[in-house]
Amino acid sequence: MATDKAEVQRKIAQLCKKIDSFGLSDEDVYRVSSVRKLSGRRVTCAGILCATAAVLAVIVAAVAIGLGTGLIHPMTETLRRSPASSRYYRNSKFRPPVNCQICADIQEVDRVRNLKPDEFIARYAYTSRPVIVEDGAQNWTASEYFSFGYFKSVYKPDSPALLNEENKCQFFPYKTNFASLGEVFNMSEERANLEDGSEPWYIGWSNCDATAANDLRRHYERPYFFPAEVESSKTDWIFMGSPGYGAHLHIDAVGTPSWQAQVKGTKEWTLEPPPECYFECPHTLKVTVHPGEIIVLDTNNWFHKTLIIGDEMSITIGSEYD
C-alpha cells in the first residue's frame, strides 16, 4: 500500500504541476463533482497528497477527466482570443472519453518509408496511431511553388477565392492581430519575408473555393499510400508562418483523421493523449516533421501543439480523410 500511495502521490504531483501551468485554481479543481463527493470540502494539491492511495487514485482520475471533458478546461488567453475558440471549447466540453487502447502501447511516433496502402489501412488509418511518412510528398512540386507570394496571387484582393475564404471558410490568427486572410496578404513585404526586425507571425486557414483548390492541387496530390477507397476531404488546410511560432495545445472536432504535409520549413509536434488516459498512455510524445514528410494524426483524440523550428518559414498543407 505504501508503494501504491507513493506512486499515486508522484502522479498527483505531476498533475498539480500541469494544473498550475494551465493557470487553474483550487476552486476550478473543486468544480469537478467527483472531487467534491470524495473530499466533502474544498481541496488543494497539498491536501490531496494526504489522502489514502485509493482516494488519491480516484481523485487523480476525476481531475484528469474533468480536464478532458471541459468541466475544468486548460484554455489559455491565446485560445480565448481565437475566433475558433468558441467552437473548440463547445465541442471539447462534451467530448466523450476515448478508449485508451489507442495509445497504450505507443512510446514514440513511427517513422516509415514506402508505406503500402494495405499496411496504412491495417496499422494507421483508423487506429489513432500517429505516423510520419518520410517520403510522403514525393513527386510534388509544392516545395517549388508554395510561398507567401504564391498564396497572395491565389487570393487576390476582391477575388472569388478571397471572398469565399472570408465568407465561408475558417481563419486562425493565433497570436497575431490579423482579422482576416485579406489582412495577412496586405502586410508589408519586410514582414512577409521575415526580415530582421520585422514582427513575426503565424496563421492558418481552410480553403473552400474550387478555383483555388484546383490551383493548389496542381502542386500536390493525395498521399500515395492512400488506397482507392479512402476519400480525402475537399477542404484544404494551409498553415504558414515564422520560426518560434505555432499552434497552442488543442484538440480538434473534425470527426475524421487528418494528414499534414510539411512543404517548407521544419515543425515540431507535441502530442498528448486525452487526460482520461493519463495512467495508461505515455504523457508526451514529440516528433519533428521535415520538408517532404507527412504526419498522419487523429487530431480528434490526440491533444497537439506545433512549433516552427529552424530559420525558415514553415508552410504546410493537409486535409482530413475517411
Query: Cα–Cα distance between 262 and 291 in angstroms, integer?
Result: 5
3-state secondary structure of 266: strand
What pLDDT, on the 0 to 100 scale, is given for residue 49? 53
What pLDDT, on the 0 to 100 scale, is given for residue 254? 83
Question: Could you tell me the three cell numbers for 103?
Answer: 495509445
Residue with cell 484546383: 214
Query: Cα–Cα distance between 194 and 190 in angstroms, integer?
Result: 6
150 and 289 share one domain: yes
68 and 106 share one domain: no
pLDDT tens for each residue of 121-173: 999 999 999 999 999 999 999 999 999 999 999 999 989 999 988 888 999 99
Task: List beta partners, residue 238.
Answer: 205, 317
Does residue 64 belong to any structural domain of this protein?
yes
265 and 164 share one domain: yes
CB atoms < 10 A from the CB of 125, how many? 21
Question: Could you tell me the three cell numbers for 163?
Answer: 471572398
250 and 146 share one domain: yes
CB atoms < 10 A from the CB of 64, how many? 20
Dihedral in degrees, nearest 10, Cα atoms 213, 218, 219, 220: 70
216 and 311 share one domain: yes
266 and 120 share one domain: yes
Overall number of domains in the chain: 2
104 and 70 share one domain: no
Residue 204 in contact with residue 173, Cβ under 8 Å?
no
Query: Cα–Cα distance between 109 and 107 in angstroms, integer?
Result: 7
**Predicted TM-score (pTM) of this structure:** 0.75
18 and 138 share one domain: no
129 and 235 share one domain: yes
Q: What is the CA radius of gyration of the chain?
A: 21
pLDDT tens for each residue of 84-107: 444 444 445 566 788 898 898 899
Of the candidates 54, 58, 63, 85, which has an alpha carbon nearest to the alpha carbon of residue 14?
Answer: 63
70 and 146 share one domain: no
Say which CATH number the domain at 120 has: 2.60.120.650
Residue 153 lies in domain = 100-320
132 and 208 share one domain: yes
Q: Of 35, 57, 74, which marks where a domain is finished?
A: 74
